[in-house]
Amino acid sequence: MSREPVSVVDVIRAKRDGRALTDEQIDWVLDAYTRGVVADEQMSALAMAILLNGMSRRETARWTSAMIGTGERLALRADRPTVDKHSTGGVGDKITLPLAPLVATCGAAVPQLSGRGLGHTGGTLDKLESIPGWRAELTIGEIIAQLGDVGAVVCAPTPTLVPADRKLYALRDVTATVESIPLIASSIMSKKIAEGADGLVLDVKVGSGAFMKDIDDARALALAMVELGHDHGLRVSALLTDMSVPLGRAVGNAVEVAEAVEVLRGGGPGDVVELTVALAREMLALAGLPGDPAEVLASGRAYETWCRMIRTQGGDPDAPLPRAGHVHVLTADRAGRIAGMDAYAIGVAAWRLGAGRTRKEDPVSHAAGVICAAKPGDVVAAGQPLLELHTDDGDRVPGALAALAGAVIIGQEATGQEVIDAAGGNATNAASRPRLILDTIRA
């Protein structure tokens, strides 16, 4: 048995004592962990030391390079500029679905290697798998061919992409080390850099339904990822966006696909349209491409690209989406204006209805989810629907209702005429809704 050139105990001790890791230590420990030479308990100790003592920009850049080096660089190039988007995850965050075909319609190639949902945040692949026939697993050859033909592909990461991250991500989840900004940033950016796109736009969520609850923490994470991209020759920018309220009105799988299709056909909720267009503009700017994505989206031309993208991956864009066997409506107990809506609580409710999973191997219900019949700023009359709970199993409803206790706050400031208008339809005040885009960070 050959002797390893570095001692894992020395690596752990160095970071435990607050010292910077050398390039040799970083390269070795990630390679050795991927090979199984470094045990889970040893990497757990190192991850905790990193959480407590941090890593410098140099260490984080080297850590990211070493992560990439454990697998294959995909180099998903095309005959037009390639640009990707990554979201840190939220509730009702179906933006990838309209965004990828929109940016492709505007002239870029969009390789979107996406993930599945866990807990209260949904997964893009779970949403798309509600489309009959659609498949997430593609070979590298299929991905490259679709990029050239359609201009957009949304699929699962290939097995050779940053294998160290798959092991380390699972380990961090069960050792209370998820919150480390260097480890979050390197996890996200190692995969995106390994894709080989020319540019990347980050959507860093902030609020109750996001991983980052505090804007200062979110800004620190965004800056770390932008710096990592710069250090690896990737053009990167980041938008900090609000996730205190669900995006759009649909939270789940098939219900989010249906809402994304509305947006692609030129309609849909205003906040989904706003964020889709803002991210598209940022992506096109990184790609050096002209054009107005708002006009393209309103025209419905991106819907044609969507249909081609879905068909190329075996799906039928015209097929009916799954529908829930049971719908429970939660109504307003009094009249007033919606003053708040807790994104986290609604995400948990959708999860309990069957839209999400507790473990990675759990199945999901494609029909389950929550429809927000009212949003902050809307005026409601007593008895008017607030939320629709969609599930295939009525026994799941009580758990979802428990999660929603206090999730919707009805204020007092609506006028009598507004309440009358609400009873007959809906009265809104966009000025009272949260600001969606909080900040932009560029290198």
Active site residues: 86, 165, 172, 187, 191
- Count of beta carbons in the 10 Å neighbourhood of residue 299: 13
Cα–Cα distance list, 434 to 244, 341, 376, 405, 422 (Å)? 8, 10, 8, 21, 20
Of all helices (H) and strands (E), which one includes residue 441?
strand 437-442
Find where tokens 């990167």 sit.
Answer: 236
Strand positions, DSSP E, 131-216: 152-155, 199-206
Q: Which helix (H) or strand (E) holds 220?
A: helix 215-231
Q: How far is CA 390 from CA 246, 370, 372, in A?
A: 16, 6, 11
What does the angle CA 142 – CA 309 – CA 124 come to, to the nearest 5 degrees? 90
Burial, 176: exposed, middle or buried (Cβ in 10 Å; 0-12, 13-18, 19+)? exposed
Tokens linked to 67? 């992560």
Residue 86 is given by DSSP the state: E
What are the DSSP E strand ranges found in 284-375?
Answer: 326-331, 336-341, 369-372
Beta partners for 391?
A: 326
Work out the burial of residue 408: count CB atoms within 10 Å of its CB; fewer than 13 is exposed, 13-18 middle, 19 or more buried: buried
CA–CA dist 272, 364 (Å, integer): 24
